[in-house]
Structure 1
Amino acid sequence: MNRILLIEDDIDLAKETSLALEKWGFYVDLIENFEKILEEFIDKKPDVVIMDINLPLYNGFYWCEKIRDISNVPIIFLSSRDSDMDLIMGINNGGDDYITKPFSIDVLVTKVKGIIRRAYKYSDSSSIMHYDDLIFDIEKGTIKYKNKCEDLTKNEIKIFTSLLKNKNKVVSRESLMMSLWDSDEFVTDNALTVNINRLRGKIKDIGFNDMIKTKKGMGYIIQ
């Protein structure tokens, strides 16, 4: 049974969402002490975090960054904020998906199932990929070059895997979006662009510049 940590300060909505998720076979933990979200995360060891942005004390972006310091667990933002900037901030801060309120529980369940399937499909693999002397460990979600190492988010892992598997071939934006979310129905171009740019930044930080090239009107390529 997959475990979900639901971080929502609207108690009625939290209980309603929790009951709906439990009917679909998930085990749901609710946060009661919003001062100790990170401690609760460490204690509960969830498979997925569903988190509101507007929270007491510190917002969801803050807690997402704290979780990202220690874990690559999938994080879905659930918020009444619906601007492109909020979506970009959510993805930029390490979120894997973003759902606006009011929302359909069927959409939420579909997103949760999809993100679990995608996030943990590599759990039984120790697959290692290489690009020159760069080492990409899919299972651990890390890229290493010489003495430098960077952790990748689940979305970055999938993007990098797709590009490396298709080395010297252009991978379309549509193909990447499908690999991330199975369907591009709920995805904006901004979300993919943010993920690509963040991945490029991490690759650059370990010593590779311009590895991922843009083919205008076509997609991306690693050569």
Structure 2
Amino acid sequence: MYRIFLVEDDEVIAGAIADGLTRWGFEPYICNDFQNVTEEFLACDPHLTLLDISLPFYNGYHWCSEIRKISKTPIMFISSADDDMNIIMAINMGGDDFVAKPFEMQVLLTKIQALLRRSYDFNAQQETGVLEHEGILLNTTACTVDYKGKRAELSKNENKILAILLEHAGEVVSRDAMMNRLWETDCFVDENTLSVNIARLRKTLASIGITDLIKTKKGIGYMIP
């Protein structure tokens, strides 16, 4: 059962969120001491924190920064201060998502589930060295990709590129970001070489029936929808 640490000073809102979380099978823990949020965070040891911006004593940005000093646990801001500056500030301070008040409980719960899935299900896949996406299985250790009973061997660069794109499925990965990741593994490639590797990867995937998986976003990068 996932534990959710709720830092919200409005008792009515906190109670409503806690009730919704409980109905969906989560274990909510409502913060009571807004001068010692970090201590309560440690006592709860949550899988995810819901954090308001406007709080007594210190604001949510302060506590996000303090939590980030001791934990990488996902943090989702919930606040009526939903202008662009506050959203940018929340993410820059270490937040992973932002939900504007007022919100439908169904929307909040859906976003919580998505953030937990990204944070924990994918980490579990990383530990086994296997990434899965719509029936496609990438074994990053063996450098193989399987699909509908067929298997293809991948080069080191192809393996890394596919892993990066699967890690960020649904997001555009810039060419610069991709090359930086390849550089970290001592496989530096320039832009032209990256294009060649993408083309080779597409051809390899097509050989086992995977077509149109990697989309090009002209002038930006690549993505797996």
TM-score band w.r.t. shorter chain: 0.5 to 0.7
Aligned pair in 2 of structure 1 residues 105, 177: CA closer, same or farther (>3 Å)?
A: farther
User: SS in structure 2 opposite 1:77?
Assistant: strand
Partner AA of 1:165 in structure 2: I
For the 8 Å contact 1:212–1:220, the answer to whether it is kept is no
The sequence identity of aligned pairs, in percent, is 36
For the 8 Å contact 1:3–1:28, the answer to whether it is kept is yes
The unaligned stretches of length 5 or more in structure 1 are 129-162, 181-191
Larger radius of gyration: 2
Cα distance, 1:166 vs. partner? 4.1
Cα distance, 1:49 vs. partner? 0.2
The equivalent of 1:147 in structure 2 is none
Q: Structure 2 matches for 1:1-223, cutoff 5 A?
A: 1-121=1-121, 122-123=123-124, 125-126=126-127, 164-166=160-162, 176=168, 178-179=170-171, 217-220=218-221
After superposition, the C-alpha distances for 1:136-186 in whole angstroms (9 at most, x for unaligned) are: xxxxxxxxxxxxxxxxxxxxxxxxxxx95348x9x7xxx958259xxxxxx
User: SS in structure 1 opposite 2:5?
Assistant: strand
Distance 2:35 2:162 in 1: 45
Cα distance, 1:220 vs. partner? 3.7
Distance 2:189 2:69 in 1: 25
The unaligned stretches of length 5 or more in structure 2 are 130-158, 192-215
Aligned pair in 2 of structure 1 residues 42, 13: CA closer, same or farther (>3 Å)?
A: same
TM-score of the two chains, using structure 1 as the length reference = 0.62
After superposition, the C-alpha distances for 1:85-134 in whole angstroms (9 at most, x for unaligned) are: 11110110110000000001001000111111110121364368xxxxxx
Aligned length: 164
Higher RCO structure, 1 or 2 (CA under 8 Å, sep 6+): 1
Distance 1:65 1:211 in 2: 36
Distance 1:165 1:73 in 2: 27
TM-score of the two chains, using structure 2 as the length reference = 0.61
Cα distance, 1:43 vs. partner? 1.1
The list of structure 1 runs, each at least 4 consecutive aligned residues, that deviate by more than 6 angstroms after superposition, is: 210-213
Distance 2:11 2:104 in 1: 18
Distance 2:161 2:217 in 1: 20
- Aligned CA RMSD, in angstroms, stands at 3.8
Aligned pair in 2 of structure 1 residues 220, 69: CA closer, same or farther (>3 Å)?
A: farther
